[in-house]
């Protein structure tokens, strides 16, 4: 457990947009914010439904005057209060990420935004431009890359432990959309182009797979060939995507993501092969990382082991054998972002370990990936080059 | 995610004894208390070293007048403040559990106490008597029995899914005391009889193994035959314990716990066999529970599955495939105990699901087990009968 | 253990072409032939090197006059002896499969041939024509489809246990060609187009992956898009292949095979997903088959369980928990083919369970797959339709 | 694949007592004898039922005059034929091991005997005396110690890789006797004291567990405390046994074996812990061996890896990733014993690697273990010292 920041710095004042009663990811963000005790939630526009916004705010012990029903009002008022929020978490459906993030950045408030960044590359680039002209910080919650063993994998690849990279195999298999699921709040917006954007499974979990592969391998694909499917009758967005990847150094890759892979829960797995060995990580057993060298014993590394790279130690709370999980991965993003915010407050450089939080650049990269995959799909899986 | 309590009940006012800087379990208790946002930490006697107590309190944002250097003063003052703490967490070395718990119970404050309850059966019985004459609540943090899949196992056994129980196999293997580790704060007190009591590994993790086995099987052993060892030269307490168990219904059992099992991290595992099947749970992969029937396929049940017993659903925060871990198991005890405290506040019965928190009776049972094991050991592993 | 054939039928007289000292697969075939005691090896042209042919024959206890240095002579002489061989095993490098199989079929001798069938689709079709005009039997040793749990998987898919098939994921990862390996007998011929044919990894193990997927799913791909690579400098054939598949019913698939996947041994794995569940089989733990249903427990089925399909029981020698392996999978092909040969001898129909041995049709299908993959690769991974 | 013996030595002439139609272990022995092609089965007294003996012999292609209905006649006649058998396999129920082995040793024929050696220590000692006064060889088929990775484990322990041994944990869990199973041939004799001897599960599989532990650890227990149970009503022999062990160097151990452990198939597992690490081997995945060092990564070693001890290479037929299993473990004993027999034929010393076949000394040790366990059990699990 490492903490570079001032140990008695006051907690960071946090607001939230989205995340009212009945939501999923909002509650995850709140737990993540509490876990390491660096934030205090003080304001929210938790729902577009005024009654739900009110009820949700009371349940979270917000003061009455800081429960908003409109994110624009919230951005304006909070930015002018002396005790206004310093950072906002955006946990709405995808189509609101852009306007909400824009409003708070314009109000001078740091932003933590759920993924995917936006519903179009153009919006993503616009946000990037906006943020570039302000001094506000931006975090994109690709939480899977915050697991300690993923950070260990990244450090080991960067360190040359695998030699020259040759193959990237990433998959993200779920089955919860195997059936139409009409009336399920989580399913409804994800399968509605007006709320989710033009990509379904591709944007929802394909984006995680792509970000994870890029985070660990340190390589963005040069070109891709993608084939999308909608297996459930009547579904308007893709529920399965698969693609081939080519990298600038000649490496090859495959990515598939599915929400109709019957029997799978949250099967995100990454394998990276190089000339000198491979790494294998599975989200469902996140405390483990398997390293295999040609002809050698398979080594199972465990979070908490002393020999791991510093980047993994930094993100570890508990000794080896005491499982950490999904909430801790989210909390790590919050903890690292707290360090960035406090460093900004205190006029110092943040600890370099705290800079692994995905940023707007990652969000732009993700949207570029999504749009390239859609373009390839519409050209019968022709190769599409990703600009950089 | 289930919450039976009043959703806008104010947070429970919490104090802590022990848990200053450099400690391990205190930080775990604090995260557990924060995770579900049912508590607010307001007071502490965090260390017997005044400076460390002060520094630790400031770091935790405690008000200056609620940072104590003496738990007796804290109990007295907090019990008389109108905004005094409602409950205290006792996270000291073992030898202080008894006097601290006693002081706060006498002051009319609920107690959450780390295990083992005390360092002698006599002290445990005295606490039980004291609590019996008050109306204060008591929780003992055997966190392993709060994992959702352990609660699932318990419900399945109680439901007769395994038929008549025949065999209980429980083991708890660690290796962190394989070497003398002199100067390691965690090791020092655990191997010092003055601080840890008369049992080492037996009390530290053997007690967890015994509680887990009893919690799931629903059976306390009738007699045991125990053999304790100290493998590291100069160690004054046992670092390895193994024993055979006999149950009233004719079932047999084996238990071993070791802190010198080289290569093991936190290897707590329970297997329960009955005439109709078996259950297998491993702490290092706590979201899984394996059920096997004679001649049948091995079924791997996963936390979050809809078909699990209600007791498991109750203790679940995340969907299947999104790993929960050790911190959530502790948080579950805090959340359940919050429900008990709020029910008491509100003059209603607590939700029955919240009553699985280990109590003083479990602590007494644990001390009885420890003393029987010590007695057997001193009689060359003769069978010793456990009173009930 | 099931045996439909006459229990005291004399052993089948077997010859072998290839498989001299220093070879690998020849020894495997001989063990397979001995394991169930249905064959007796009596003749061989074990090497093109006369001295090695002689030494190898003596070591195998062959009579001097049945040790040949030329397969054509062997085919001629054995076909005219009254005690001549009934069947020949062809275990040479790929380029000889065609002429050897042709010679023995023309001599009226049954053929067991290692995979891939030939080095071109044209040769494969020619063999099929030749065999069609004779009454000789032909077995192609795609051994992986003879594992009991693979046969179980096939029966379960055919039975509709997975519903409508949606996804096929097959991979075959090895690392033994990660380095140039010049001078290694096994490597040398496999990377020489004159001996191996125009495809390297694709033909050597990609063909196994494709056959396995087709055997279990019951579906041949309609079109494929393939990308081949040669990662090791100077290598003249592909050492890595990956592709996307489309099936007539709309299902999608991915296949990759690599001999440069550092850290992998013999990682053949098949996953088949349908609307009602999925099956997962890994060659390195062949006695297990995992069945998962949406939302349900993962079921691990084990070879030897009473509830398995008859096709799995048929191919099982040992009770559950007593591991069988690679040699038994080969032996199963030999045992089943023995049943076919004895049925032919005895003028009766073979037991239907013995008909799962891959045939010339499978070999033709495999060559069609290889040529389509090569064609796609040469067209920058364009979709290529497989004729049927 | 290593073979020290003369490559063109004639096959060893083998006979068999027991193993007629319907048996299990006889068929296993025959496959084991064929697998490496070092034996030819020429004679048998395959059943005490004359018709079954006859039918079984014909099915195995035995000559009519070498199908016996009486093992004494067989021993006499075969010992006087010029082409008589050189070695006999004894695969009868336990109570016949002694007289059959005795008869063939007296006839000057080498013996391969299934375990346990006899039904009493006295008989075992008598056999040892008899063999000591002859020059005949004796093999006891504790096949589990012939798995390559078990031999690797033994070599690694002997090499000091684990440091000073501290703990031995061995278990052997099956469930096939969970129910009475009356009328099942395999069950009937194993639960009948007249055929199986005075111990049930203890002799049948407890003896395997004890031998495995001793083989790998290189230590025999100094004293034991055993508790036997019969869980199935009406069963006359133990179906579950558990015990504690103490070793001369202060190490501790636990052993349990059960045939009523519902849901287990053939769950033999050994863990050995020393001051510098541990080894973990499971029979159901026999090609793997896990090595863990304190604080270090878990290493999974695989049969076929180049870095394994020579003793493992010696017992390996296939490359890594190509699973071997139970039949190969038996075959290894046959292959090693063939080397011993051929060395004897040729008047040379056998290859030292071939000397790991269990012998009469192991059989005597096993019977001493069984009788000590029975004695302890009858004294309420008091400690019983094992003579050496």
Query: What pLDDT, in 10s, does the model give residues D37-90?
Result: 999 999 999 999 999 999 999 999 999 999 999 999 999 999 999 999 999 999
Question: CA B218, CA B215: separation in Å to the nearest integer?
Answer: 5
State the smallest CA–CA distance between residue D99 and chain B in angstroms.
36
**Cβ-defined contact of A240 to C169 (cutoff 8 Å):** no
Tokens 């360090």 -> residue: A339
Q: What is the model's pTM?
A: 0.96
Contact C289, C301 (CB under 8 A): yes
Question: A273 is written with which tokens?
Answer: 């092969």
Residue C161, CA distances (Å) to C213, C217, C271, C306, C353 in order = 16, 12, 14, 17, 20
Hey, which residues does B281 pair with through a beta bridge?
B270
Question: What pLDDT does A183 receive?
Answer: 85
Contacts of D347 (CB under 8 A, 6+ apart): none
Query: What pLDDT, in 10s, does the model give residues C217-259?
Result: 999 999 999 999 999 999 999 999 999 999 999 999 999 999 9
State the smallest CA–CA distance between residue C61 and chain D in angstroms.
7
Tell me the pLDDT band of C7, cut-offs 50, 70 and 90.
low
- For chains C and D, count residue pairs whose Cβ atoms are closer than 8 Å: 114
Nearest C-alpha in C relative to D62: C8
Question: CA B114, CA B112: separation in Å to the nearest integer?
Answer: 7
- Give kind and range of the element (H or E) at residue A378: helix A360-378
pLDDT averaged over chain B? 95
DSSP class of residue A67? B
Contact D78, D43 (CB under 8 A): yes
Q: What are the start-end ranges of the E strands in C137-239?
A: 138-140, 165-173, 223-229
Selecting from A295, A300, A307 the residue whose C-beta is nearest the C-beta of D305 gives: A295
Question: What pLDDT does C6 receive?
Answer: 57
Nearest C-alpha in C relative to A228: C252
- Give kind and range of the element (H or E) at residue C132: helix C121-132
Residues in chain B: 388
Selecting from A167, A243, A262 the residue whose C-beta is nearest the C-beta of C273 gives: A262
Selecting from D297, D300, D307 the residue whose C-beta is nearest the C-beta of A301 gives: D297
* Residues of D in Cβ contact (< 8 Å) with A296: 305, 307
- How do the residues of chain C divide into helix, strand and coil, expressed in percent and rounded to 5? 40, 20, 40
Query: What pLDDT, in 10s, does the model give residues B20-53?
Result: 998 899 999 999 999 999 999 999 999 999 999 9
**Cβ-defined contact of D162 to B262 (cutoff 8 Å):** yes
The CA-based dihedral angle spanning residues D334, D339, D343, D349, taken in that order and rounded to the nearest 10 degrees: -120
Question: A346 is written with which tokens?
Answer: 């205190």
Selecting from A10, A302, A322 the residue whose C-beta is nearest the C-beta of B326 gives: A322
Question: CA A59, CA A311: separation in Å to the nearest integer?
Answer: 37
Residue A241, φ and ψ in degrees, nearest 5: -140, 140
Tally of CA atoms within 13 A in the half-sphere of B338 that contains its CB? 26
Hey, which residues does D169 pair with through a beta bridge?
D254, D271
Of residues C1, C70, C72, the one with CA closest to residue C37: C1
Q: What are the start-end ranges of the E strands in C18-136?
A: 39-45, 87-90, 110-113
Residues in chain C: 388
Of residues B72, B78, B76, B68, the one with CA closest to residue B14: B78
Contact A94, A116 (CB under 8 A): yes
- Give kind and range of the element (H or E) at residue A43: strand A39-45
Question: CA A102, CA A355: separation in Å to the nearest integer?
Answer: 22
b/e code C286-309 from CB counts within 10 Å (16+ = b): bbbbbbbbbbbbbbbbbbbbeebb
Tokens 């932003």 -> residue: A111
Provide the ipTM.
Answer: 0.95
Question: B292 is written with which tokens?
Answer: 């096997």
Against chain D, the chains showing at least 3 CB pairs within 8 Å are A, B, C
Nearest C-alpha in A relative to B39: A34
Question: A305 is written with which tokens?
Answer: 């082991």
- Give kind and range of the element (H or E) at residue C151: helix C148-158
Question: CA B279, CA B276: separation in Å to the nearest integer?
Answer: 10
Question: What pLDDT does C295 receive?
Answer: 86
State the smallest CA–CA distance between residue C289 and chain B in angstroms.
10
Tokens 């076949």 -> residue: D357
Residues above pLDDT 90, as percent of chain D: 92
Contact A328, A303 (CB under 8 A): no
Query: What pLDDT, in 10s, does the model give residues B343-369?
Result: 999 999 999 999 999 999 999 999 999
Selecting from B24, B37, B265 the residue whose C-beta is nearest the C-beta of A320 gives: B265
Question: CA C151, CA B73: separation in Å to the nearest integer?
Answer: 73
Q: Which of B40, B265, B329 to mutate to test the interface with A (most CBs of A within 10 A)?
A: B265
Tokens 């800087």 -> residue: B21
Nearest C-alpha in C relative to A231: C166
Question: B324 is written with which tokens?
Answer: 């929960």
Which ranges of chain B does DSSP label H, i.e. alpha helix?
25-35, 50-59, 71-80, 97-106, 121-132, 148-158, 185-190, 193-196, 201, 207-217, 310-314, 326-346, 360-378
Residue A363, CA distances (Å) to A248, B9, B128, C145 in order = 21, 39, 58, 45
Based on its alpha-carbon atoms, the radius of gyration of chain C, rounded to whole angstroms, reads 21
Question: What pLDDT does D139 receive?
Answer: 98
Nearest C-alpha in D relative to A306: D295
Which residue numbers of B have CB closer than 8 Å to A's CBs? 1, 7-8, 10-11, 24, 27-28, 30-31, 34-37, 58-61, 174, 176, 264-267, 283-287, 302, 304, 317-328
The CA-based dihedral angle spanning residues C302, C303, C304, C310, taken in that order and rounded to the nearest 10 degrees: 120
Query: What pLDDT, in 10s, does the model give residues B55-111?
Result: 999 999 999 999 999 999 999 999 999 999 999 999 999 999 999 999 999 999 999
Against chain B, the chains showing at least 3 CB pairs within 8 Å are A, C, D
Contact B375, B199 (CB under 8 A): no
Question: CA B231, CA B260: separation in Å to the nearest integer?
Answer: 7
Question: CA C105, CA C136: separation in Å to the nearest integer?
Answer: 7
**Cβ-defined contact of C300 to B295 (cutoff 8 Å):** no
Question: What pLDDT does B174 receive?
Answer: 97
Cis peptide before A68 (omega within 30 of 0): no
Question: CA A217, CA A207: separation in Å to the nearest integer?
Answer: 15
Question: What pLDDT does A5 receive?
Answer: 47
Contacts of B24 (CB under 8 A, 6+ apart): A319, B186
Based on its alpha-carbon atoms, the radius of gyration of chain B, rounded to whole angstroms, reads 21
* Residues of D in Cβ contact (< 8 Å) with B244: 225, 227, 242-244, 381
DSSP class of residue A202? I
Rounded mean pLDDT, A159-166: 98
State the smallest CA–CA distance between residue C145 and chain A in angstroms.
23
Selecting from C298, C301, C306 the residue whose C-beta is nearest the C-beta of B300 gives: C298
Query: What pLDDT, in 10s, does the model give residues B256-314?
Result: 999 999 999 999 999 999 999 999 999 999 999 999 999 889 999 999 999 999 999 99
- Asked whether the predicted pLDDT for residue A146 surpasses 70, the reply is yes
Contact D268, D171 (CB under 8 A): yes
Question: What pLDDT does D7 receive?
Answer: 60
Which ranges of B81-184 does DSSP label H, i.e. alpha helix?
97-106, 121-132, 148-158
Selecting from A297, A305, A306 the residue whose C-beta is nearest the C-beta of D299 gives: A297
Tell me the pLDDT band of C9, cut-offs 50, 70 and 90.
confident
Selecting from D8, D35, D286 the residue whose C-beta is nearest the C-beta of C34 gives: D35
State the smallest CA–CA distance between residue D249 and chain B in angstroms.
11
- DSSP per-residue letters across A76-111: HHHHHSTT--SEEEE-S-GGGHHHHHHHHHHTT-EE
* Residues of A in Cβ contact (< 8 Å) with B318: 28, 325-327
Question: CA A228, CA A372: separation in Å to the nearest integer?
Answer: 12
Question: A189 is written with which tokens?
Answer: 């917006």
Residue C370, φ and ψ in degrees, nearest 5: -65, -45
Question: CA D298, CA D292: separation in Å to the nearest integer?
Answer: 5
Nearest C-alpha in D relative to B280: D263
* Residues of D in Cβ contact (< 8 Å) with B258: 167, 273
Question: What pLDDT does B83 receive?
Answer: 97
* Residues of C in Cβ contact (< 8 Å) with A227: 244, 246, 252
Selecting from C31, C317, C326 the residue whose C-beta is nearest the C-beta of D323 gives: C326
* Residues of B in Cβ contact (< 8 Å) with A148: none
**∠B49-B54-B55 over CA atoms, to 5°?**
100
* Residues of B in Cβ contact (< 8 Å) with C307: 295-297
Tell me the pLDDT band of B1, cut-offs 50, 70 and 90.
very low
- For chains A and B, count residue pairs whose Cβ atoms are closer than 8 Å: 114
b/e code B315-331 from CB counts within 10 Å (16+ = b): bbbbbbbbbbbbbbbbb
Question: CA C323, CA C229: separation in Å to the nearest integer?
Answer: 36
Contacts of A123 (CB under 8 A, 6+ apart): A98, A117, A367
């Amino acid at each position: 457990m490492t903490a570079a920041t001032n140990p008695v710095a006051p907690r960071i004042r946090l607001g939230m947009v989205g995340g009212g009663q009945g939501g999923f990811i909002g509650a995850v963000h709140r737990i993540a914010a509490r876990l390491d005790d660096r934030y205090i939630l003080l304001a929210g526009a938790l729902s577009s439904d005024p009654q739900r916004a009110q009820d949700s705010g009371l349940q979270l012990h917000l003061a009455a005057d800081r429960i908003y029903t409109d994110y624009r009002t919230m951005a304006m008022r909070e930015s002018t209060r002396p005790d206004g929020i310093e950072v906002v978490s955006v946990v709405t459906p995808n189509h609101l990420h852009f306007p909400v993030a824009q409003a708070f950045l314009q109000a001078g408030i740091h932003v933590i935004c759920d993924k995917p960044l936006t519903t179009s590359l153009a919006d993503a680039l616009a946000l990037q431009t906006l943020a570039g002209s302000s001094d506000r910080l931006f975090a994109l919650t690709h939480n899977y890359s915050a697991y300690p063993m993923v950070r260990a994998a990244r450090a080991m690849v960067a360190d040359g432990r695998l030699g020259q990279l040759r193959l990237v195999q990433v998959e993200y298999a779920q089955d919860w959309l195997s059936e139409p699921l009409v009336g399920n709040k989580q399913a409804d917006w994800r399968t509605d182009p007006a709320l989710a954007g033009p990509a379904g499974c591709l944007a929802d979990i394909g984006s995680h797979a792509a970000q994870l592969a890029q985070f660990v391998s340190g390589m963005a694909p040069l070109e891709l060939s993608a084939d999308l499917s909608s297996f459930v009758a009547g579904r308007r967005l893709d529920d399965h995507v698969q693609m081939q990847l080519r990298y600038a150094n000649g490496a090859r890759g495959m990515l598939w993501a599915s929400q109709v892979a019957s029997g799978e829960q949250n099967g995100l797995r990454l394998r990276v092969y190089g000339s000198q060995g491979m790494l294998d990580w599975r989200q469902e057993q996140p405390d483990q990382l398997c390293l295999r060298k040609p002809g050698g014993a398979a080594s199972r590394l465990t979070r908490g082991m002393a020999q791991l790279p510093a980047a993994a130690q930094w993100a570890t709370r508990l000794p080896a054998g005491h499982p950490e999980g999904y909430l801790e991965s989210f909390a790590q993003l919050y903890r690292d972002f707290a360090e960035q915010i406090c460093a900004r407050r205190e006029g110092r450089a943040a600890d370099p370990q705290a800079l692994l939080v995905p940023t707007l650049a990652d969000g732009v990269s993700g949207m570029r990936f999504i749009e390239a995959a859609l373009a390839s799909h519409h050209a019968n899986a022709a190769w599409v080059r990703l600009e950089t």
